[in-house]
Amino acid sequence: MPFISLRWILLAGYAVAGIIPLLLLASTMLHSVQGYFVEERKKELLSQANVISGQLTSSNFLFHEDHRGDMEEVILETSQREDYRVLVLDSSFTVVYDTGYEDVGKTYLLPEVVQAMDNKDTANEQEDGTVYAAASIMGLSNQRSGVVLIVDGMKEVRDIVGDIGKEAYLLLACIVILLFIIMVVVSKVFTEPVKNLIGIIKEMSEGHFERRARVEQKTHTELVDLAIACNQMADQLEKVESSRQQFVSNVSHELKTPLSSVKVLSESILLMEDVPKEMYVEFLHDINSEVDRMTAIINDLLTLVKLDQKEIPLNFKEVDLNQMMAGIVKRLQPLADAKSVVLETDYVKEIAADVDEMKLSLAISNLADNAIKYTPEGGKVKITLDADHQHAFITVADTGIGIPEDEVNRIFERFYRVDKTRDRETGGTGLGLSITHATIMMHKGSIKVNSKEEEGTTILVRIPLKQQQPAAQAQ
């Protein structure tokens, strides 16, 4: 497709919508002006033909050939003054006098002459623009004895209309040129910001996310909206880019800590001489747990990456949520027992929902696991399952250490931990809640946190009972 700039489209639109109607209007107006002049001239010629015919009648022109000389002079003078030709015809349509002297003796069977003889004086415009005006001459005893025919080439009318036309088209040309200049300026005003935006977007696509479009608030047009939208997109891109960098730096940092431990542990054994076997075992044990930690981090990262790839759909099936929750609680019971935390459940009713059982189980386990982890000995964790006619609600409430108010919104971020040092001791990767959040979002659900430091945390998960696409298709 050839490149057509917006500017040319605007100019072409102006030509079609502005210039062509103006031209049409001018030519129609000229046409009616000409029509008006012709009509007026026809009336005038007819009345002059009548005047001449009256004179001819009273001088008995047709019947007294000897006295024609005076009358002929009068007619000739009039015809020269008025710039038209006058012919006098007798009752047999033969020309008896012609101011042009050419057609004397010829027969004129023109419709206008015939009609005049029939007492209907007429003036008609011919195809070549000439006007014929014919009036009858009365003879003796009121008989029609001949016709006066005026032939006018309408030069005067044509000259007048031509002059008007010239002036009109000159004026039109001035208007067109003026409008064209205005349009060029207007189209520049419209297309210049678009061009600027294109330049800025191109720079952004080359990685300069810090570039912003200028927003001129003087006039509020769609172009200003476009610039604002473009800047919002740039903000978003910058955010995504910085969170990507943050993520990479977090991953490196998280993996660096256990790797450094492994390095220190292995080097210290290598440098020592005569190391007792128990020490080997102890160091290897430590190295092993660091490797476990790295494995846990990498596994969590892989889970997150898989959840991020939205084209891999979840395996939705109708699942008995009561059974699913019982399974989770059974797995976590030993952990709670070991910490002397009471694990309480309240399944309000039987609930079945379209969920990906494996992924949702992991998501809810993360919540319950955290609740036990961050609740001191003797505390209580309560898991509730309830539903209305559209959603299932899973609540995990603990009486643990709680989360500071200003950090509640950040706990779903990758690698975010409230207390960095202590949490690493608890074995968490800081990725659990990110996985939970992503899973709930993929179920088109929502997750809310209520927490108070030293009092406890309640996390409420809401999941739709039915997923939009049928379970079979989602596989």
Q: Interface residues with ligand ADP (CB under 6 A)?
A: 366, 370-371, 374, 398, 400-403, 411, 416-419, 423, 428-434, 457
CA separation, residue 116 to residues 49, 107, 109 (Å):
11, 15, 11
Closer Cβ to ligand ADP, 146 or 428, answer by number:
428
State the pairing for strand pair 391-398/456-464.
antiparallel
Closer Cβ to ligand ADP, 233 or 460, answer by number:
460
Q: Which residue is nearest to ligand ADP (CB)?
A: 428
Closer Cβ to ligand ADP, 79 or 451, answer by number:
451
Closer Cβ to ligand ADP, 414 or 443, answer by number:
414
**DSSP for residue 15:** I
User: Which of these, 245, 258, 248, 335, lies nearest to 295 by C-alpha position?
Assistant: 258
User: Which of these, 263, 426, 272, lies nearest to 338 by C-alpha position?
Assistant: 426
Residue whose structure tokens are 């036309």: 165
* Shortest spacing between CB 340 and ligand ADP, in angstroms: 17
With left for phi above 0 and alpha for psi between -120 and 50, is residue 340 left, alpha or beta? left
Closer Cβ to ligand ADP, 154 or 371, answer by number:
371
The helix/strand/coil state of 115 is helix
* Shortest spacing between CB 324 and ligand ADP, in angstroms: 20
* Shortest spacing between CB 245 and ligand ADP, in angstroms: 20
* Shortest spacing between CB 233 and ligand ADP, in angstroms: 30
* Shortest spacing between CB 372 and ligand ADP, in angstroms: 8
Closer Cβ to ligand ADP, 53 or 434, answer by number:
434
CA separation, residue 229 to residues 235, 236, 306 (Å):
10, 11, 31
* Shortest spacing between CB 239 and ligand ADP, in angstroms: 21
* Shortest spacing between CB 226 and ligand ADP, in angstroms: 40
Closer Cβ to ligand ADP, 52 or 381, answer by number:
381
CA gap 459, 438 in Å, rounded: 15
CA separation, residue 162 to residues 61, 89, 174, 175, 455 (Å):
39, 34, 18, 20, 100
